[in-house]
Structure 1
Amino acid sequence: MSEGRSDVLDGAIAPSDNSALFGHEEAQAFLAAGYRSGKGHHAILIEGPEGIGKATLAFRFANHILSHPEPADAPAEMADPDPGSVVSRQIAAGSSHNVLHLTRPVDEKTGKVKSAITVDEVRRAGRFFAQTSGTGNWRIVIIDPADDLNRNAANAILKILEEPPKRSMFLVLTHTPGRLLPTIRSRCLPLALRPLADADMARALAHLDIRLEGERGARVLAAAKGSVSEALKLVNYGGLDIIDAFDHMLGHPDDAPARREMHKLGDILAAKDSDTIFDFFATLVARHVNAQAKAAGLGGDLAAAERFARLSSELSERLTVADAYNLDRRQTVLSILDDLRTAGAVV
Structure 2
Amino acid sequence: MLEVGIVGGSGYGAIELIRLLNQHRQVSIKYIFSHSKAGEDIKNSYPHLQDNVKLPFTTLDVENVECDLVFFATPSNVSKHFIAQLLDRNIKVIDLSGDFRIKNPQVYKSYYGEKPAEQTYLNQSNYSLAEWSHVNQKTTNLIANPGCFPTATLLALYPLITNELINHDHIIIDAKTGVSGAGRSLSQNVHYGEVNENLSAYKLGSHKHIPEIEQYLSELTHSNIKVTFTPHLIPMTRGILTTIYVDLSSDVSNQYIHQLFEKTYEDKPFVRIRQLGEFPKTKEVLGSNYCDIGIYVDEERNKAIIVSVIDNLVKGASGQAIQNLNKLYGFKENEGLDLLPVYP
Tell me the TM-score normalized by structure 1: 0.28
Larger Rg: 1
More helix by percentage = 1
Q: Whose strand proportion is higher, 1 or 2? A: 2
Superposition TM-score, scaled by structure 2 size: 0.28
